[in-house]
Amino acid sequence: MFLTVHASAGIYIGTVITNPWLAFILAIISHLILDAVPHGDENIGKETDRKKKIIKLSIIAFVDTLGVVILYYFLTSYFITPSPAIILGIIGSIMPDYLWGVYELTKNKILGWISIHILSYFHNILHTRVSLPVGMLIQALTLLFFITLVIL
């Protein structure tokens, strides 16, 4: 799932759970649960050429992080008050994907273990894949769901 979708869940958690560290932990858990939902973007980083893969993933990460910033700015400008719990909810909700990205860049053994044994496990828990268009619809609906929860 894209970072913006994960961040919307983290923002919601941070609005409901006022303890920042509990929000952080629950947001990490929400990331893993959301990754179990088939979401169509699992093959985006499957380039065989390492240089092309890094460039492609970097562009996607930049645009997606910009989406997180815009989402946060929009919600805190009109609907919610910024708080440490919301900030740590966002960080916890997107951290697993950043750890995976750092692993892809560095091939660090510890991050590799996390990526293979934890993150990949949740991506494959349902053994179901959907096409990118179907996955984008699932992600858009998930994003709207969490935004709706936040603003209501």
pLDDT in tens, 46-58: 777 888 888 888 9
Q: Quick check: 42 pLDDT over 80?
A: no
Mean of per-residue pLDDT scores for the chain: 93
Q: State residue 136's pLDDT score.
A: 94
Q: State residue 46's pLDDT score.
A: 74
102: which residues sit within 8 A by CB, 6+ positions away?
108, 111
- Cα angle vertex 36, ends 105, 139, to 5°? 85
Phi, psi for residue 45 in degrees, rounded to 5: -95, 25
| Domain spans in the chain, listed from the N-terminal domain onward | 3-151
